[in-house]
Amino acid sequence: MWRLREKGETMPRQGNLFRNLPNAEETEAIQILMEEKGVSIERIVSKGERSPEGFWYDQERSEWVLVLRGRGRLLFEEGGEEIEMGPGDWVEIPAHCRHRVEWTAPGEETLWLAVHYSPEKNPFGGSSGAR
């Protein structure tokens, strides 16, 4: 079972991103795997999910997202750009870049890994040119 590290905990934690997946039959499932010093890592499981009509994510922090399994499509408000993603594809989304999940594969789980971070604490060393 995943859990956040307790303050002052010094022992390593381990897990497997592909095991013990939460049920995503009715709604997208998000698990925080790690959160520390302005950075959080989430495992997201989707199955035929999409953002509600008219809804846009407009996040305070930047986000780096990787598809590990399955397929999905993101839509970006500015310019109407769509990015279709499959296993191994990733995208870096700057803070306040309005976007939505347009589609995830029905009938199969889409497994995402998302890293959220403050723009001034970019763990990826600056602009990556992902888009």
Q: How many domains does the chain have?
A: 1
Q: CATH number, domain at 73?
A: 2.60.120.10
Tens digit of each residue's pLDDT (9 = 90 or more) over 68-127: 999 999 999 999 999 999 999 999 999 999 999 999 999 899 999 999 999 776 656 655
Report field, pTM of the whole predicted structure over 0.85: no
Nearest to 58 by CA among 93, 92, 100, 98: 98
- How far apart are the C-alpha atoms of 63 and 102, rounded to whole Å? 17
Over its C-alpha atoms, the chain yields an Rg (Å, rounded) of 15
Asked if residue 27 belongs to a domain, the reply is no
Segment 3-12 mean pLDDT: 67
Residue 51's domain comprises 38-119
- Give me the pLDDT at residue 41, please: 96
| Angle made by CA atoms 113, 131, 37, in degrees to the nearest 5 | 45
- Length, in residues, of the chain: 131
